[in-house]
């Protein structure tokens, strides 16, 4: 089990992935990108052209798929049945289908096992996601919950997608983010909420560097 475990939760576009990655580098810790695990599971299912509403089939696919998550150059890489999928899991179509995995209790349990197994391999972990501090690692040393208004989060995601060569409709993207917020916050299992002992950081008017420095300072002051 990790000697230092930090969780950073928050909605899509709040900056949690970028902040967690930078914080992990600053602390020489492993970066656990839990969203990548859900995306990998969704992509594996999409490749079979199965009905994504068929939970039993999705369970079978996840159980039979060889997922490998490794740390390379400070970020988590993803392999599905031996093939690199690190970039493909970021495709907007995969993003649109992640909820089929994330909303089902039996599927989430499988992904949580992958997350805990990953964490067990490293002494220091910075884990980002939506339920890291509440469900996956309730005994984490430090817990943070990042927020930002939907418009700002949409702009951030649009910039990220544009840089990767995707065409983006900002209004449609904001609608998708707001829809994901509703799905995440109202699902019966592991809803998107801040842990009772988490420190909330509003990132709307902060740069990535400012967010990380704030979190880093809070950790050092309470170490």
Nearest to 33 by CA among 79, 91, 75, 83: 75
| Residue 70 dihedral angles phi and psi, to the nearest 5° | -130, 160
| Residue 187 dihedral angles phi and psi, to the nearest 5° | -65, 150
Note the pLDDT tens digit of each residue in 101-130.
998 999 999 999 999 999 999 999 999 999
Q: Is beta strand 4-9 parallel, antiparallel or unpaired with respect to 142-147?
A: parallel
Residue 223 is predicted with a pLDDT of 66
- Which SS3 state, helix, strand or coil, does residue 73 take? coil
Domains of the chain are 4-214 (3.40.50.300)
The conformational region for residue 73 under phi > 0 = left, psi -120 to 50 = alpha, else beta, is left
The answer to whether the CB of 36 falls within 8 A of the CB of 77 is no
pLDDT in tens, the chain (223 residues): 568 999 999 998 899 999 999 999 999 999 999 999 999 999 999 999 999 999 999 999 999 999 999 999 888 999 999 999 999 999 989 999 999 999 899 999 999 999 999 999 999 999 999 999 999 999 999 999 999 998 999 998 888 888 888 888 899 999 989 888 888 888 777 788 999 999 999 999 999 999 999 999 999 888 6
Location of structure tokens 């179509």: 93
């Amino acid at each position: 089990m990790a000697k230092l475990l930090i969780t950073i939760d928050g909605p899509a576009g709040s900056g949690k992935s970028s902040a967690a990655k930078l914080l992990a580098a600053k602390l020489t810790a492993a970066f656990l990108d839990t969203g990548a695990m859900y995306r990998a599971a969704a992509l594996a299912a999409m490749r079979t052209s199965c009905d994504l509403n068929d939970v039993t089939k999705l369970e079978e696919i996840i159980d039979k798929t060889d997922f490998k998550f490794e740390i390379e150059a400070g970020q988590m890489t993803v392999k599905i049945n031996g093939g690199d999928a690190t970039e493909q899991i970021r495709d907007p179509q995969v993003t649109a289908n992640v909820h089929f995995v994330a909303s089902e209790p039996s599927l989430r349990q499988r992904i949580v096992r992958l997350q805990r197994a990953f964490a067990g391999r490293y002494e220091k972990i910075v884990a980002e996601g939506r339920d890291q501090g509440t469900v996956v690692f309730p005994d984490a040393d430090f817990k943070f919950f990042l927020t930002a208004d939907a418009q700002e989060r949409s702009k951030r995601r649009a910039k990220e997608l544009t840089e990767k060569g995707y065409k983006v409709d900002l209004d449609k993207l904001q609608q998708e983010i707001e829809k994901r917020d509703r799905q995440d916050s109202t699902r019966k299992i592991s809803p998107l909420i801040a842990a009772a002992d988490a420190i909330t950081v509003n990132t709307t008017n902060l740069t990535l560097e400012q967010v990380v420095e704030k979190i880093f300072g809070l950790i050092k002051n309470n170490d």
